[in-house]
Amino acid sequence: MLRRDLRLSLRHGSDTLAALLFFVLTASLFPLAIGPAPETLARLAPGIVWVCALLAALLPLDRLFGADFEDGTLDQLLLSGQPPAMVAAMKALGHWLTTGVPLLLAAGPVALMLGMQAEVVPALLAGLLLGTALLSLFGMTGASLVLGARRGGVLLPLLVLPLVAPVLIFGVAAADAVASGQSPRAHLLLLAALLAAALPLCPLAGGAGLRSAAE
């Protein structure tokens, strides 16, 4: 199932490309809005990168289950005996591989473009490595819960954004800690703890959403 999703993503790479372009273009607008002062940009760079990555990761979520739900593939997967939680987990993993990893690769150059100090970038990327996985898990859960609902594309961000607020806070705090000469370990451990809790719980919640939509 994961191989199928990856093949479809490679065949129709517009979602990944759109997320990357949105991420880069949105981050590029901030210097125009707040001014080109290097000190200001460097101080705001972690928050800019995280917010842009969060919004870019939301773009493909509306289609995460939508196409399979419309053409009956989702029903066939559930009728074939596949555990709904496993279907949800593979969708989250596919979203992370096709959206989270490209955003992670693009985050370093974007952060340097915004004037972030080079020694802060590893902490930013470490936080994003954990954070993008959490974004995929929370996003998958939200997408499964609004599947088949009217105006699901509008409801999805309203459902997911409050869930990822702690991820955003701890991710930015890790980079800010390095910039101020402190250790980012505590903030990264909190992100790791959130991921450890989300790994079993989000697929179960997503599977319940898929069963409800299929019925």
| Residue 171 half-sphere exposure toward CB, CA atoms < 13 A | 32
Contact 171, 134 (CB under 8 A): no
pLDDT of residue 63: 78
Separation CA 87–CA 74 (nearest Å): 9
The one-letter code for the residue type at 30 is F
pLDDT of residue 10: 75
pLDDT of residue 15: 76
pLDDT of residue 35: 79
pLDDT of residue 152: 65
Angstrom CA distances, 134 to 38, 59, 127, 149, 167, stand at 31, 15, 11, 24, 8
Higher-confidence residue: 153 or 139?
A: 139
Q: For the chain, which residues make up each domain, given as ranges?
A: 2-214
What's the pTM value of the predicted model, to 2 decimals? 0.88
pLDDT of residue 159: 86
* pLDDT tens digits along 20-58: 999 999 999 988 888 778 888 888 999 999 999 999 998
pLDDT of residue 198: 95
In what helix (H) or strand (E) does residue 19 lie, and over which residues does it extend?
helix 14-34
Separation CA 56–CA 43 (nearest Å): 22
Query: If pLDDT is split at 50, 70 and 90, which confidence band does 126 have?
Result: very high
pLDDT of residue 96: 92
* pLDDT tens digits along 81-107: 778 888 889 889 988 998 899 999 999
| 3-class secondary structure, 24 | helix
pLDDT of residue 39: 84
| 3-class secondary structure, 148 | coil
pLDDT of residue 120: 92
Token reading at 158 = 């309203």
Query: If pLDDT is split at 50, 70 and 90, which confidence band does 174 have?
Result: very high
> Over pLDDT 70: what percentage of the chain?
95
The one-letter code for the residue type at 83 is P
Token reading at 59 = 């773009």
